[in-house]
């Protein structure tokens, strides 16, 4: 299955993608995670991306297109992938279809997770992350022990772009640069399915699995 998980910041793309990747045995490709990993390792790419990410701006298209092209060419993507946070602009969507075409592949479905703005703001302001990749929400999905990761015991941190000013900018960027992709994919005749992402984490997961299972897509 070749899937794009689409939705505004805080809609639950990362949360759902981790569970879907495990269930359907396909790699979860989060461009945000790739950039944050580069930032942690202080690579040239990470240091370049930091100023955009901290403000909630998009990192330039050519950088993201290169990252995605490299990642999709790796062998674990041979029987499917789950893209989270890419594409986010029209040039990125065009580039994706060219990359896949050149590999003799195509997208099977774009899953759009829909959540109202007030809920997104609450979720992001209360999100806490761990260096191991786990993500929590202080109200809806808290760790067992305050500020400590259930999985590895490290201290949780607040993402720099989860501060109020950056959250508002990310929502604005989403509306102007990313949301238009819904029309783009509709016009392209792509299978685009919208899920109510305001429900609880397991309800959203069950709904996505129901939709995917109904599509009966084989390995591609």
- Report how far residue 163's alpha carbon sits from residue 126's, in angstroms, rounded to the nearest whole number: 10
The answer to whether residue 86 forms part of the interface with ligand AP5 (CB under 6 A) is yes
* Given 45, 82, 127, 208, the residue binding ligand AP5 (CB under 6 A): 127
Q: Kindly state whether residue 96 participates in binding ligand AP5, applying the rule CB under 6 A.
A: no
> Considering the rule CB under 6 A, would residue 80 count as an interface residue with ligand AP5?
no
Host H or E run for residue 49: helix 44-55
Distance CA 203, CA 86 (A): 24
- Least gap, CB of 146 to Mg ion (angstroms): 22
Nearer to ligand AP5, 129 or 217 (CB): 129
Exposed, middle or buried by CB within 10 Å (0-12, 13-18, 19+), for 113? Answer: buried
28 binds ligand AP5 (CB under 6 A): no
Q: Are 87 and 96 in contact (CB under 8 A)?
A: yes
**CA 214 from chain center: how many Å?**
23
Closest alpha carbon to 107 in 74, 72, 76: 72
- Give CA–CA dist 196/113, Å, rounded: 6
User: Which C-beta is closer to ligand AP5: that of 79 or that of 135?
Assistant: 135
Q: Is 201 exposed, middle or buried (0-12, 13-18, 19+ CB in 10 A)?
A: middle
- Residue 52 in contact with ligand AP5, rule: CB under 6 A: yes
Q: Which is nearer to Mg ion, 14 or 87 (CB)?
A: 14
Q: Least distance to ligand AP5 from the beta carbon of 111, Å? A: 12
If contact means CB under 5 to 8 A according to the sort of partner, which of Mg ion, ligand AP5, none does residue 11 touch? ligand AP5
Assigned token pair, 9 = 């910041």
Check residue 32 for interaction with ligand AP5 (CB under 6 A). Answer: yes
The verdict on 211 binding ligand AP5 (CB under 6 A) reads: no
Q: Would you tell me which residues interact with ligand AP5 (CB under 6 A)?
A: 7, 9-15, 31-32, 35, 52-53, 56-59, 64, 85-86, 88, 92, 123-124, 127, 135-137, 140-141, 161, 170, 197, 200-201, 204
**Which amino acids are annotated catalytic?**
13, 88, 127, 159, 170
């Amino acid at each position: 299955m070749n899937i794009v998980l689409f939705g505004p910041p805080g809609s639950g793309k990362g949360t759902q993608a981790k569970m879907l990747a495990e269930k359907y045995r396909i790699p979860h490709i989060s461009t945000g995670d790739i950039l944050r990993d580069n930032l942690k390792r202080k690579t040239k790419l990470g240091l370049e991306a930091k100023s955009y990410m901290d403000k909630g701006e998009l990192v330039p298209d050519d950088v993201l297109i290169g990252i995605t092209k490299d990642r999709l060419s790796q062998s674990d993507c041979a029987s499917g992938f789950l893209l989270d946070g890419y594409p986010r602009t029209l040039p990125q969507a065009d580039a994706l279809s060219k990359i896949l075409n050149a590999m003799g592949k195509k997208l099977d479905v774009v899953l759009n997770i829909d959540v109202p703005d007030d809920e997104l703001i609450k979720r992001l302001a209360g999100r806490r992350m761990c260096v191991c990749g786990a993500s929590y929400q202080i109200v809806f999905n808290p760790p067992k022990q305050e500020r400590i990761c259930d999985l590895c015991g490290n201290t949780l941190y607040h993402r720099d772009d989860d501060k109020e000013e950056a959250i508002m900018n990310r929502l604005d960027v989403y509306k102007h640069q990313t949301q238009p992709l819904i029309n783009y994919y509709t016009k392209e005749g792509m299978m685009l399915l919208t899920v109510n992402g305001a429900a609880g984490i397991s309800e959203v997961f069950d709904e996505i699995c129901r939709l995917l299972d109904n599509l009966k897509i084989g390995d591609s």
